[in-house]
């Protein structure tokens, strides 16, 4: 639950910890040449205010996901769509966020563990704000939403340029969420909460799909990210037991993708049960099922089949790389897990990713 963004105007935010002292090195490790910081005066409301604002935006995203799950029809690239409105809210937040709180200015990655600990009140709120800052665009551009759920409601062909944009943004921003959490762990500031666990479970679907990318850099990074997500959820389950269900759902989704796939015109055909994905994206709060119960209760998947590929080619490379890396299937060893292939959604993940950047950390 969250306060809608329109009701936040005029409210008095709770006090925040002060901004940590700037490093004398100016955070060279975080600076990127050519990035522009406006000199316009912006009132700093404190890091807690921006964390609360991002929680509010996330509440709108969660509502949008639920509406999509219920069959809400929209053409996402049109101005009246929920996707466009959420993107606008995100851009407005980013526009009003004082540059002093940006990663390149706070020098988070170049500080010592001692500095992080001394200013942990600020850094905890900052990390949570950053996680949401990247989780929002990663979620509203989630491959499952645009390649399965929303695509069914679109009359006629979709915009390939728009779909490519969603893929690029989902990879880029989900990678940032994982990286920020990993950096926090390295400083001894591990952030474990039901909200963050929910976000990790949602975004873990992205590397679960992209493990099958033709580009070796993408597939290797995806395998590592998926493994990290599973490890994080396992640790979170020690504190919040319901996180074990999310881990179980993710593992079963991976198991199905690993064992129900085939080649299609040089790419992989990924088959999975949509209800498992929806259980991660939009879980039922009052009725928590196991993944096996979800499979048993789910109706047969629609007859329509979505053909997309996981083939990646660099924008400046004319010749496609034809080498197909073998996906890692060592995470799940329980061969007794059963499912009906006729009830699986089918994805061909090559038709759309025709010029995606092969490195999800390019430019970070």
| Percent share of the chain, pLDDT over 90 | 49
Question: Is residue 32 in a domain?
Answer: no
Tell me the residue ranges of DSSP E strands in the chain. 261-264, 267-272, 345-348
> Residue 360 pLDDT more than 70?
no
Closest CA to 159 of 84, 88, 82, 76: 76
State phi, psi for 270 to the nearest 5 degrees.
Answer: -100, 125
pLDDT of residue 273: 81
Averaged pLDDT of the chain: 77
For 215-269, the pLDDT digits (tens) are 778 889 999 999 999 999 999 999 999 999 999 999 998 888 777 665 555 456 6
Lowest mean pLDDT across 36-50, 135-149, 155-169, 172-186: 36-50
pLDDT of residue 358: 43
How many domains, the chain?
Answer: 1
> Residue 30 pLDDT more than 60?
no
For 321-331, the pLDDT digits (tens) are 444 444 443 33
Question: Is residue 27 in a domain?
Answer: no
196 or 152, higher pLDDT: 196
pLDDT of residue 319: 47
Cβ atoms within 10 Å, residue 270 = 27
333 or 280, higher pLDDT: 280
Question: Is residue 170 in a domain?
Answer: yes
334 or 182, higher pLDDT: 182
Q: Is 29 helix (H, G, I), strand (E, B) or coil?
A: coil
> Residue 151 pLDDT more than 60?
yes
| CB distance 79 to 153 below 8 Å | no
pLDDT of residue 257: 79
> Residue 345 pLDDT more than 80?
no
Question: Is residue 180 in a domain?
Answer: yes
State phi, psi for 261 to the nearest 5 degrees.
Answer: -145, 155
For 266-307, the pLDDT digits (tens) are 456 677 788 889 999 998 764 555 545 544 544 444 432 434
Q: Is 362 helix (H, G, I), strand (E, B) or coil?
A: coil
Question: Is residue 354 in a domain?
Answer: no
305 or 198, higher pLDDT: 198
Q: Is 306 helix (H, G, I), strand (E, B) or coil?
A: strand
Question: Is residue 325 in a domain?
Answer: yes
Most confident among 72-76, 148-152, 356-360 (mean pLDDT): 72-76
> Residue 364 pLDDT more than 80?
no
- What is the residue range of 224's domain? 5-21+45-348
pLDDT band at 34 (very low <50, low <70, confident <90, very high): low
Sequence-separated (6 or more) residues with CB below 8 Å from residue 12: none
Averaged pLDDT, 148-157 = 75
HEC string of 127-159 equals HHHHHHHHHHHHHHCCHHHHHHHCHHHCCCCCC
Averaged pLDDT, 38-49 = 81
Lowest mean pLDDT across 21-35, 198-212, 297-311: 297-311
Question: Is residue 316 in a domain?
Answer: yes
Q: Quote the tokens at residue 183.
A: 């950096």
């Amino acid at each position: 639950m969250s306060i809608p963004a329109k009701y936040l105007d005029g409210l008095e935010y709770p006090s925040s910890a002060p901004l940590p002292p700037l490093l004398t090195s100016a955070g060279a490790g975080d600076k990127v040449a050519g990035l522009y910081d406006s000199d316009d005066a912006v009132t700093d409301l404190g890091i807690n205010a921006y964390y609360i604002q991002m929680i509010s935006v996330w509440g709108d995203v969660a509502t949008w996901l639920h509406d999509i799950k219920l069959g809400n029809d929209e053409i996402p690239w049109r101005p009246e769509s929920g996707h466009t409105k959420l993107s606008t809210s995100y851009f407005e937040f980013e526009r009003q966020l004082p540059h002093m709180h940006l990663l390149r200015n706070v020098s988070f990655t170049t500080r010592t563990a001692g500095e992080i600990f001394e200013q942990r009140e600020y850094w905890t709120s900052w990390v949570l704000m950053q996680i949401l800052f990247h989780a929002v665009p990663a979620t509203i551009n989630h491959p499952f939403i645009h390649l399965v759920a929303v695509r069914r409601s679109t009359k006629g062909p979709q915009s390939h340029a728009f779909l490519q944009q969603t893929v690029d943004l989902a990879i880029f921003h989900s990678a940032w969420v994982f990286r920020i959490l990993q950096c926090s762990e390295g400083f001894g500031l591990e952030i474990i909460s039901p909200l963050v666990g929910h976000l990790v479970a949602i975004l873990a679907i992205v590397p679960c799909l992209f493990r099958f990318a033709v580009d070796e850099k993408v597939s290797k990074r995806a395998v590592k990210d998926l493994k990290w997500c599973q490890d994080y959820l396992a640790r979170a389950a020690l504190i919040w037991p319901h996180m074990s269900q999310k881990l179980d759902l993710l593992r079963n989704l991976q198991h199905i993708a690993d064992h129900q796939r085939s080649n299609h015109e040089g790419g992989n055909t990924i088959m999975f049960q949509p209800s498992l994905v929806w259980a991660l994206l939009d879980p039922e709060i009052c009725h928590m099922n196991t993944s096996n119960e979800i499979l048993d209760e789910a109706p047969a998947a629609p007859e329509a089949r979505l053909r997309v590929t996981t083939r990646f080619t660099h924008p400046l490379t004319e010749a496609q790389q034809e080498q197909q890396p073998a996906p890692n299937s060592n995470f799940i060893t329980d061969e007794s897990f059963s499912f009906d292939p006729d009830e699986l959604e089918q994805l061909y993940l090559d038709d759309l990713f025709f010029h995606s950047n092969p490195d999800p950390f390019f430019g970070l």
